């Protein structure tokens, strides 16, 4: 990788949740002002802006939209709840299509007390059930493995390999994986699984932030790139070695950064991206 390439921010995207205090309009304006050309949208923004207005805003700004976040949460104790989840994922796909998002990210879900293998089976069934809808819309479905600290209630898929198994079983070109360094940096098979995902054509998304060694909260204390212990640049090299040309999506949930001036924070993100990603 050349030095010029490392100084290139053209693949930088930011998740709206990173700037949680901002509305979608503020994110769009703030990212554009900082020269950020891509935005991944979290669905909570639709609480305060209509889908049509959001689509217009994003289109007018000329921002690329790698992902709408998030669908998933498929497993449930009863069939009625599972059907509701399928309906919600179809809605998510419709919303993604409306705003021109390439993929929806699936935080697949888990049910406390349910065997993880059973939950994974229900995830596979859920994705299979929404696939025709995704096909009709041309929206990709990216399974995001989550760190095992979330295995009880957020994700029964915790390693790249767990996501790969579902991709292989469904064998569909729209189903792939969103790799978030926060969740998988510790995986001893990470490099091999990235290579394999590259060969299988399933690497759809690449999310970056950092793992603070002194983590204060399991949900809302992610670090800025360079602030923790993840060798993001090496993981990026593994990802790009596969031919991946997608965006590098900054996704930081942090009570600390949500309290800062968000415009200054976006500038810090751009700098940290150039320095550590």
CB of 140 to Zn ion, least distance (A): 15
Residue range at the interface with Zn ion (CB under 5 A); choices 135-143, 169-177, 228-236, 249-257: 249-257
Task: Give the containing element (helix H, strand E) for 54.
Answer: helix 51-61
Nearest distance from C-beta of residue 180 to Zn ion, angstroms = 3
Joined together, the tokens standing for residue 191 give 């490099």
Least separation in angstroms between residue 53's CB and Zn ion is: 26
Name which of 72 and 82 has its Cβ closer to Zn ion: 72
Candidates 75-83, 135-143, 219-227, 243-251; binding stretch for Zn ion (CB under 5 A):
243-251
User: How far apart (Å, rounded) are the C-alpha atoms in residues 27 and 269?
Assistant: 13
The single residue among 180, 187, 210, 240 that binds Zn ion, judged by CB under 5 A, is 180
Judge whether 120 and 103 are in contact, CB under 8 Å.
Answer: no
Residue 251 lies near Zn ion (rule: CB under 5 A): yes
Say how far apart CA 108 and CA 110 lie, in whole Å: 7
Q: Which is nearer to Zn ion, 187 or 251 (CB)?
A: 251
Q: Which stretch binds Zn ion (CB under 5 A): 91-99, 180-188, 222-230, 235-243?
A: 180-188
Q: How far apart are CA 228 and CA 213, in angstroms?
A: 6
70 binds Zn ion (CB under 5 A): no
**What gap in Å lies between CA 141 and CA 174, rounded to an integer?**
6
Q: Which long-range contacts (CB under 8 A, 24 or more apart) does 128-133 make?
A: 128/170, 129/86, 130/71, 130/86, 130/89, 130/90, 130/93, 131/170, 131/172, 131/174, 131/175, 133/89, 133/90, 133/93
Q: Is 43 in the site for Zn ion (CB under 5 A)?
A: no
* Interface stretch with Zn ion, choices 18-26, 35-43, 179-187, 196-204 (CB under 5 A): 179-187
Q: How far is the CB of 222 from Zn ion (least distance, A)?
A: 10
Closest distance of CB 14 from Zn ion, Å: 12
Rounded distance between C-alpha atoms, residue 43 and residue 15, angstroms: 11
Please report how close the Cβ of residue 108 comes to Zn ion at its closest, in angstroms.
Answer: 13
Sort 144 into a burial class: Cβ within 10 Å, 0-12 / 13-18 / 19+: buried
82 vs 236, beta carbon nearer Zn ion: 236
Smallest distance, Zn ion to C-beta of residue 103, A: 12
3-state helix, strand, coil in the chain (%, to 5): 50, 15, 35
The site string for Zn ion over 184-223 (x = CB under 5 A, - otherwise) reads -----------------------x----------------
Interface residue list for Zn ion (CB under 5 A): 180, 207, 251
């Amino acid at each position: 990788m050349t030095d010029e390439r490392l100084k290139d921010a053209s693949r930088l995207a930011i998740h709206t949740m990173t700037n949680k205090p901002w509305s979608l309009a503020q994110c769009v304006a703030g990212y554009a002002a900082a020269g950020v050309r891509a935005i991944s949208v979290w669905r909570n923004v639709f609480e305060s802006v209509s889908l049509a207005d959001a689509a217009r805003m994003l289109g007018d700004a000329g921002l690329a939209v790698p992902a709408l976040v998030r669908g998933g949460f498929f497993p449930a104790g009863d069939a009625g709840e599972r059907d509701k989840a399928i309906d919600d994922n179809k809605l998510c796909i419709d919303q993604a299509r409306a705003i021109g998002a390439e993929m929806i990210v699936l935080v697949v879900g888990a049910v406390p007390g349910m065997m993880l293998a059973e939950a994974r089976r229900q995830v596979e069934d859920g994705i299979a059930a929404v696939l025709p809808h995704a096909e009709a819309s041309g929206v990709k479905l990216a399974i995001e493995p989550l760190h095992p600290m979330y295995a009880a209630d957020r994700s029964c898929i915790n390693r790249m390999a767990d996501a790969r198994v579902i991709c292989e079983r469904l064998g569909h070109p729209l189903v792939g994986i969103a790799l978030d360094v926060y969740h998988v940096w510790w995986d001893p098979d990470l490099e091999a699984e990235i290579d394999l995902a590259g060969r299988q054509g399933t690497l759809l998304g690449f999310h970056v932030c950092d793992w603070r060694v002194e983590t204060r909260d399991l949900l809302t204390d992610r670090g800025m790139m360079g602030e923790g212990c993840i060798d993001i640049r090496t993981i990026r090299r593994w990802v790009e070695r596969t031919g991946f040309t997608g965006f590098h999506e900054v996704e930081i949930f942090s009570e600390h950064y949500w309290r800062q001036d968000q415009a200054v924070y976006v500038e810090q993100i751009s700098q940290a991206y150039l320095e550590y990603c």
